[in-house]
Structure 1
Amino acid sequence: MIILGSYPIQKLLGREAKDLDLLATLSEFQEYIHPINKPTITDKNHAHFKGHYRIYDCELIWPDSDSLELAELILSDDKTTWDNYLKAWVPSLNVLYMLKMSHRYKKNSPHFLKTMRDIQKMRAAGAFIQSDHFDFFKKRRDATYWYEHPNLNRTKEEFFNPDDSFYVYDHDSIHEAVAIDGAPAYTKYAVEGAEVLSSKQKFFEASHEVRIAGVYEETCVLALERSQIPNDFKRVTPEWSFKKALEKVCTSITSGWFREFAWEHYDEVLELYYKRGEMDYIALFHENKDRLRPYEGEK
């Protein structure tokens, strides 16, 4: 029986872990929660049991599975310890950090910000991904992000699905309307001749301010396109739309190096948002309506 999740490091994280995340075979899990209790099988790889004081979530170990590989990695690690109270093995801080990092970009996760804060605290405590764990980390990460991510090497007509009815304005024209420095930040690192693709080299050669502005403006456009405009600027606040859009920029709407930069600088982008004012991107959109062009779909 192996304990995963936040429980082993709840003092470090500064909060009490309400659930107990486990790694075990089905028979081990059954024995752990007591033979008279019946666990609920969520799917082939997961089971859970709601006890009187806590919920037990178990990742099930099967032959030739990633879960078995993880268990072997933990049990062979000389930094793994035994918890005599819980009667289970506890992975090292580095292994727990590696597992957190493997799902930090998970799409539509209700725990997005909690995971980010946990990772930041674990880093502050010295956690890192060990070189001998990196191959497993990549396998675990790839299994988590089973869904497709945006391929930016396309025309903007191909990139913006015409079946999405919320498109009202041309995406680039919204960028032009909300640009905070005259021209959209992305134009400073766009690949020459490409409509959507950005240059990693140009991006990291640009100033830090330009990079932060790039994430900020992309978030503003997404907040307008997917939330504020479809709701006629009613029902949801500009702040809610921005935060939800920033979460998506940091997880599923972008990918690769841009997503990593956005995730790592989430707090700086949010700081810029509050510095400029919660209504600023809405005001710019309305002030610069002459720059907006209608969305025409695939040509």
Structure 2
Amino acid sequence: MIKPQIIADSYKEILIILNNIIKNEGNIPLIDYPVLIGSRAAKWHIYSFREPNDWDLMATPLQTTLFINKVKEYNATFKYIKLIYYPGGGLILAGEYIDKYTADKKLISFYIELVSEKVDFRNMKSIFEGNSEDNMKVDDMQDDDEINKIEFERFNDVHPKMSALMILELCCNIEDKTMLPLLSNFLCIVAPLKILEALKTSLIYCQADLHKNISDLHLLRDYVALTQTKKKNIAEDLYSPQRDELIELILETRIKETEIIYSKPGAYSINLNMSNDDFLEYEDNLFVQKCISHEDLYELVKYGDHPIYQGLRDGQSKELIKKSLFEKLDYQTKINCMKEVVMVIALERYLIPMISNDQENSYKLALFRFCAKLTKGWFHQFAIDNYPRLSNLDKDLLSIAHNIIEKFPIKQKKSDVILLDPETQAIFESIRPYTKTISSFDEIRDYDESDNSYTDVKRTGIKITSPINSDVSITAIITIINNEYRDVYNTSKTDRWTASVVILPTNDLEILSDDDEDEDSDSFDMDHVGISFKDPLKIHPYQIRYSGKFSKLNSKHTFVLGISSEDNIWEPVNIEVKSADFVASLLEIPDITGDLLFKYVLDYLKPTLDFGETPLENWINELKSNGTISIKPNQHLWYYAWNIRISKQRLTLR
């Protein structure tokens, strides 16, 4: 995904930018009202559509300015508002407003895609020296002079139209209208179903919220089919609706725009021309322990005498299915062919490794992976079009998995034993009498109260008093936060771990504890963090979702670790380290260096992320195998990572 840039985060600054754009556009209105799209528009047409969460609009800069002024005029207030620039993608206004004078204080979320026929919002002119992304920050623009420098390129005389512009032009004569909450007389045109269906189809290619988007898509298609007087037969394929030429052009353009924003060329980059074993194993970071061949799994889930795909392959050693052979199958056999593949993925990825014992959910996760990551082109289109019929599991996968596990028990991993050399052991034993475990800490509060999110916090610590000077002591605190999030349909799962080892003089910790509780409340944008929480000690850093970077690190953060997985696929690991030499010197203990102090803290508190340490362990094992680090003596995983980064700060963790 391309990195978005927040170019303004106050309504006054945003109005300055928009008014400057309006001056360059001229006074001829493109359309009388903004156009409502998304789930809110779908709900307007379809009573049974799910409850929408926000208001998605396409609007001109003039209409967006009017919207902001209306919010302020009607005693509403912005909880937050951001003007966001997607390089190559466009300009978005996102935020929330609330009427603080009403009893229920209803919160309204909005997401406005700005549209112009003269100004190219995909290309902002450089206003900072070097034109680097790191220079493009809200903090750099503190006055009106800086804000006034923001300018976008103008379109050439001949240029392909953006999809949003085509949609606004198409909606000029639409009579269906609705009004935004709390804002009287602020009308929006409701986009027709055929446009909503095309927009929802384009979202399938970005993979995010795939299950929700597919469910929405097929409900929209059902109603579009009614308008086309086209009835669906249960024995027939579920094809895309008949679209006119302009809607097809809007869809094609929108897909390309979506791919630019998410930096993913849809399903077209997926390589299926690989061996059978490689097909289900090409993502190295999947949680898979192979104990049975894929061919044997296909035999266990087949619908006929032979797995269906075997008769459709382009060569016996390839998974690539020939379209001409697939099209000769009857409809139910096509569905069964795809379901066999999905069931094998469910067994391979989730049920046999015992990641899940829920066969229905495992099948849904496998179907998501199949549609989002393992198919392309016409095969992908058939899967999306027929998703409702593919989603019905009709075999007992749990029994199959149990039989395989009994026959091929998964080896339990032995825990590594860390043995200290005699010299280090002697030093540690001399420190232990001066070490006291910290028995309790104030609770770290979880900001995310969603039913779909679960956060677990572990905090341990020790206080080491100098044997030379009893008035001097240092404190080491280890914090581990694990957040598990599932989408509302329970088909997509995100796991995040952040860990920190903070070593500092005890007096410094007491100063932090006495700080004003609310001092840190607005110092970091919680919208961008992977795990949201409130730390009373203000020592555990936040991690930004899209970049992986940590907030507000300083010398006390000896070791910081961030690990995450999306649908059981590991993301890149983020590590930051600092030397502990200075704080170690405060103890005045002979032979105690920062290296030994960090090793002692790990030995005493023995922190672990359990399952979350898998990618870190894989990396360390790789370094051991190629001779980069010594196999013996065995060290704590965190120490390996810390020591490597201290020695080679620029080493990139794969």
In structure 2, C-alpha distance between the alignment counterparts of 1:135 and 1:202, rounded to whole Å: 30
The 1:75/1:261 distance shift into structure 2, 3 A limit, reads: closer
User: Quick check: which one's helix share is greater?
Assistant: 1
Of residues 187, 207, 214, the one that matches 1:87 is 187
The 1:282/1:79 distance shift into structure 2, 3 A limit, reads: farther
Residues 63-95 of structure 1: CA distance to partner in whole angstroms, max 9, x if unpaired? 335897234323332653363744233333322
The residue identity in structure 1 corresponding to 2:55 is L
1:141-290 equivalence runs, <5 A: 141-145=255-259, 146-147=263-264, 149=267, 150-156=270-276, 158-159=278-279, 160-161=281-282, 163-167=284-288, 168=290, 169-230=292-353, 232=354, 235-271=356-392, 273-274=393-394, 276=395, 280-285=396-401, 287=403
Of residues 40, 52, 57, the one that matches 2:82 is 40
Whether the 8 Å contact between 2:202 and 2:254 is mirrored in structure 1 is: yes
Residues 32-83 of structure 1: CA distance to partner in whole angstroms, max 9, x if unpaired? 1436446223553333121234211112336335897234323332653363
Residues 216-260 of structure 1: CA distance to partner in whole angstroms, max 9, x if unpaired? 111111112222223x2x644111111121233233321222222
| RMSD, aligned α-carbons | 3.3
The residue identity in structure 1 corresponding to 2:325 is K
Could you tell me which runs of 5 or more consecutive residues in structure 2 were left unpaired when the two chains were aligned: 1-33, 73-77, 99-105, 123-159, 180-185, 229-241, 411-654
The residue identity in structure 2 corresponding to 1:22 is L
Whether the 8 Å contact between 1:106 and 1:252 is mirrored in structure 2 is: no
The alpha-carbon deviation at position 162 of structure 1 amounts to 6.4
The alpha-carbon deviation at position 288 of structure 1 amounts to 6.9
Q: Which residue of 1 aligns with 2:52?
A: 17
In structure 2, C-alpha distance between the alignment counterparts of 1:291 and 1:135, rounded to whole Å: 54
Of residues 97, 106, 111, the one that matches 1:51 is 97
Q: Which residue of 2 aligns with 1:134?
A: 248
In structure 2, C-alpha distance between the alignment counterparts of 1:201 and 1:194, rounded to whole Å: 18
The 1:33/1:170 distance shift into structure 2, 3 A limit, reads: farther
The residue identity in structure 1 corresponding to 2:368 is E
In structure 2, C-alpha distance between the alignment counterparts of 1:65 and 1:125, rounded to whole Å: 37
Residues 75-129 of structure 1: CA distance to partner in whole angstroms, max 9, x if unpaired? 3326533637442333333222211222234414162344234333332332642
The alpha-carbon deviation at position 202 of structure 1 amounts to 0.5
In structure 1, C-alpha distance between the alignment counterparts of 2:399 and 2:246, rounded to whole Å: 51
2:122 is equivalent to residue 76 of structure 1: no
Q: Which residue of 1 aligns with 2:145?
A: none
The 1:218/1:125 distance shift into structure 2, 3 A limit, reads: same
User: Quick check: which one's strand share is greater?
Assistant: 2
The residue identity in structure 2 corresponding to 1:180 is Y
**How many pairs align?**
286
Could you tell me which runs of 5 or more consecutive residues in structure 1 were left unpaired when the two chains were aligned: 295-299
The one of the two structures with greater contact order (alpha-carbon pairs below 8 A, sep at least 6) is: 1
Whether the 8 Å contact between 2:352 and 2:402 is mirrored in structure 1 is: no
The residue identity in structure 1 corresponding to 2:318 is E
Equivalent residue of 2:120, what SS? coil
In structure 1, C-alpha distance between the alignment counterparts of 2:59 and 2:401, rounded to whole Å: 53
Whether the 8 Å contact between 1:13 and 1:121 is mirrored in structure 2 is: no
The residue identity in structure 2 corresponding to 1:140 is R
Equivalent residue of 2:55, what SS? strand
Whether the 8 Å contact between 1:105 and 1:252 is mirrored in structure 2 is: no
Whether the 8 Å contact between 1:49 and 1:55 is mirrored in structure 2 is: yes
The 1:17/1:258 distance shift into structure 2, 3 A limit, reads: same
In structure 1, C-alpha distance between the alignment counterparts of 2:243 and 2:39, rounded to whole Å: 17
In structure 2, C-alpha distance between the alignment counterparts of 1:11 and 1:75, rounded to whole Å: 18
Equivalent residue of 1:64, what SS? strand
Whether the 8 Å contact between 1:3 and 1:88 is mirrored in structure 2 is: yes
Residues 138-187 of structure 1: CA distance to partner in whole angstroms, max 9, x if unpaired? 12113324425421123345543262353414433322332232321211
The 1:178/1:95 distance shift into structure 2, 3 A limit, reads: same
Whether the 8 Å contact between 2:59 and 2:115 is mirrored in structure 1 is: yes
Q: Which residue of 1 aligns with 2:39?
A: 6
The 1:205/1:118 distance shift into structure 2, 3 A limit, reads: same
The 1:222/1:8 distance shift into structure 2, 3 A limit, reads: same
The alpha-carbon deviation at position 12 of structure 1 amounts to 3.2
The residue identity in structure 2 corresponding to 1:50 is E
Q: TM-score, normalised by structure 2?
A: 0.39
The residue identity in structure 2 corresponding to 1:227 is Y
The residue identity in structure 2 corresponding to 1:19 is D
Whether the 8 Å contact between 2:204 and 2:214 is mirrored in structure 1 is: no
* Percentage of identical aligned residues: 22
Of residues 182, 199, 204, the one that matches 1:104 is 204
Equivalent residue of 2:383, what SS? helix
In structure 2, C-alpha distance between the alignment counterparts of 1:193 and 1:152, rounded to whole Å: 14
The residue identity in structure 1 corresponding to 2:41 is P
Q: TM-score, normalised by structure 1?
A: 0.80
Equivalent residue of 2:372, what SS? coil
